[in-house]
Structure 1
Amino acid sequence: METIALAEVAAVLADPSRASMCLALLDGRAWTVTELAGAAEVAASTASEHVTKLTEAGFVVRVKQGRHSYVRIADPRVAELIEHLAQHAEHRPVKGLRSSVRVKRLEFARTCYDHLAGTVGVALRDGMLTTGLIDEADGLTLTARGREVLGALGVEIADGRRAMLRDCLDWTVRRDHLAGRVPAALLSHGVSAGWLSREGNRAVKVLPAAEKPFADLGVDLAGLRRP
């Protein structure tokens, strides 16, 4: 039965159009079916059929807001599964300068669902641990100093049942970056505060305004090798 279930799940993502939609949704936003149709380069009616299959398989959920309907990744575990599969694909030999540049940008900074990944994401975990903002003695926890620093930076952590912090294996750096409510709030605030910008295809651009707040989080951005 497990073999059959695995084959069924794999079959859902084996379709290039559905795979393209899932990769687009990894940026953490909710998309309309029309937007997903554009990302997958298919007709809206075809995109709707693909979304139905993804919904039935538990990969995505539909969200209604007023008269509008949106689609988003079902939960962080699904996002991690797709991220890991995507990064496996990214490690195939790249062909051409354009593909090489794109891969390097993703390796440096990208979204992994709703948090930072890549070199910057791993450096953030290291920096917050080194400066005592987080602690891993008894599982990952946010320290009192961590709350103080994040509060001073204007980062508001939402309430919820989801873990505050947990490790997420980064498949480009091959080390852990941070996932959970804290890094999700940090990414969201970083974009709204002008520290970071989403560049499409999950790539994240680290802006000059990020140097001071990231230094407060223990990250020397100038010391990181940029693409």
Structure 2
Amino acid sequence: MNSPDVTTILRLLSDRSRITILDILMDGRAYTVNEITAFTKLKQHTVSYHLKLLTEAKLTAVKQYGKFRYYSISNTITPELFEFLSNYSPVEPTKSYKQHFAKKELKQARTCYDHIAGELGIKIKDFLISENIIVPANDNSGIYSVTPSGEIFFAEELKINIENLKKKKRKFCIDCLD
């Protein structure tokens, strides 16, 4: 019986450039090599090489639109793995004012794969709990349930169909690392 070769994924994730690329893709959008190059300050051929490896390992996916190729996270497992590993990773120290400013902006508000994160995300979650729209599970698992009044709130106030969201592959209504 063949066992999975976990070292392949670990090798891919051990490279800072690939982690940076995955981090950019965590907002759930698709980007071209040129866009990722602008974000990372890496050379275009280097970004292309890393994206090729990530795509071969099925961590990213690529779609062609006209002459452009757009890369995105390929599944729901990649961000979950990324978030899980982040829980056990040391925080990188700030080395410059520019880096400090960027971290400060990200701390306030950002998207994290498919949800709002940062201080804004925490405030929204706290509001939803205080208004009894969502309630945490009793087991400290980081999973929340939408209350009956919450379902009405999402449907009427925000025009969000909760039942459709529950059918998606991604876990529904979970805590973020923030």
TM-score (norm: length of structure 1): 0.60
Aligned to 2:31, the other structure's residue is in SS state: coil
Which digits, 9 at most, give the CA deviation of each residue in 1:151-174, with x for residues without a partner?
A: 34434348343357332341xx4x
What letter matches 2:147 in structure 1?
T
Q: Confirm whether residue 69 of structure 1 aligns to residue 74 of structure 2.
A: no
Relative distance call for 1:61 and 1:108 in structure 2 (3 A) is same
- Correspondence for 2:149: 145
In the TM superposition, residue 132 of structure 1 has moved relative to its aligned partner by: 1.5
In the TM superposition, residue 15 of structure 1 has moved relative to its aligned partner by: 2.8
What letter matches 2:25 in structure 1?
L
Q: Confirm whether residue 34 of structure 1 aligns to residue 34 of structure 2.
A: yes
Structure 2 CA distance, aligned partners of 1:21 and 1:28?
A: 12
Which digits, 9 at most, give the CA deviation of each residue in 1:14-40, with x for residues without a partner?
A: 333322211211222111123223333
- Correspondence for 2:10: 10
Trace 1:29-108 onto structure 2 (pairs within 5 A): 29-65=29-65, 68-83=68-83, 85=85, 91-108=91-108
Maintained 8 Å contact 2:155/2:161 = no
In the TM superposition, residue 137 of structure 1 has moved relative to its aligned partner by: 5.2
- Correspondence for 2:160: 156
- Correspondence for 1:168: 175
Which digits, 9 at most, give the CA deviation of each residue in 1:113-151, with x for residues without a partner?
A: 110122222232232122111234586322332233223
Aligned to 2:174, the other structure's residue is in SS state: strand
Unaligned runs of 5+ in 2: none
How many corresponding residue pairs? Answer: 170
Maintained 8 Å contact 1:141/1:164 = no
TM-score (norm: length of structure 2): 0.73
The runs of at least 4 aligned residues of structure 1 exceeding 6 Å deviation read 87-90
- Correspondence for 1:135: 135
Aligned to 1:18, the other structure's residue is in SS state: helix
Relative distance call for 1:145 and 1:163 in structure 2 (3 A) is farther
Relative distance call for 1:21 and 1:140 in structure 2 (3 A) is same
Aligned to 2:61, the other structure's residue is in SS state: strand
Q: Percent identity?
A: 26
